[in-house]
Amino acid sequence: MQTIFVLNGPNLNLLGMREPEIYGSDTLDDIAHTLHEQAKGLGVEIDMRQTNHEGVLVDWLHEAREVGAKAVLLNAGAYTHTSIALLDAIKAIGVPVIEVHLSDPSKREEFRHISYVGMGAVDEVKGLGPRSYSVALEKAAAL
Ligand code: DQA
């Protein structure tokens, strides 16, 4: 079975209590549960992880290449807007990356309007709350 990595960056471990008016009340575990169920129906497997550390995200992107992952869903949190290292990793691995966000950063503060992840990603899903992940998983499974 093909594996899709679902990688989550800084502060996403606090989903559920973190600015619920922006990110909603679902926890990352709730989202993982939904995605695992959805993945069964799509005939894929997901490997979902979260870290607060930029370099760990880089390592996991490399790992996606090493294990031959079908795709990566990447919510890099604030590193989306700052990390050339993530962009370089995305370009290096040859695995399609779909950018995911719960909120729509383009409708928020100006510093969120730039996305280095988006410069390397094949697609993006944003602004749908937890459903952003589900829509992205569908897209990834169809790649
Ligand atoms: C986010 C949007 C980012 O701008 C922010 O830094 C996050 C979460 C989202 O999912 O909406 O941490 O990636």
pLDDT tens, position by position, 90-105: 999 999 999 999 999 9
Which stretches within the chain are classed as H helix? 20-23, 28-42, 54-66, 84-93, 116-120, 131-141
What is the Å distance from ligand 1's center to 5 Cα?
A: 18
Straight-line distance from the first to the last Cα atom of the chain, in angstroms, rounded to the nearest whole number: 14
pTM equals 0.96
Nearest to 69 by CA among 92, 88, 45: 45
Whole-angstrom CA distances from 118 to 7, 13, 90, 91, 111 are 15, 22, 10, 11, 14
Whole-number Å distance between alpha carbons of 2 and 69: 7
Domain 2-142, CATH number (from 1.10.3720.10, 3.40.50.9100, 3.40.50.261, 3.40.50.300): 3.40.50.9100
Kindly report, residue by residue over 2-37, the tens digit of the pLDDT. Answer: 999 999 999 999 999 998 999 989 999 999 999 999
Tokens of 24: 């909603």
Q: Is the CB of 32 within 6 Å of ligand 1? A: no
Active site residue 133: no
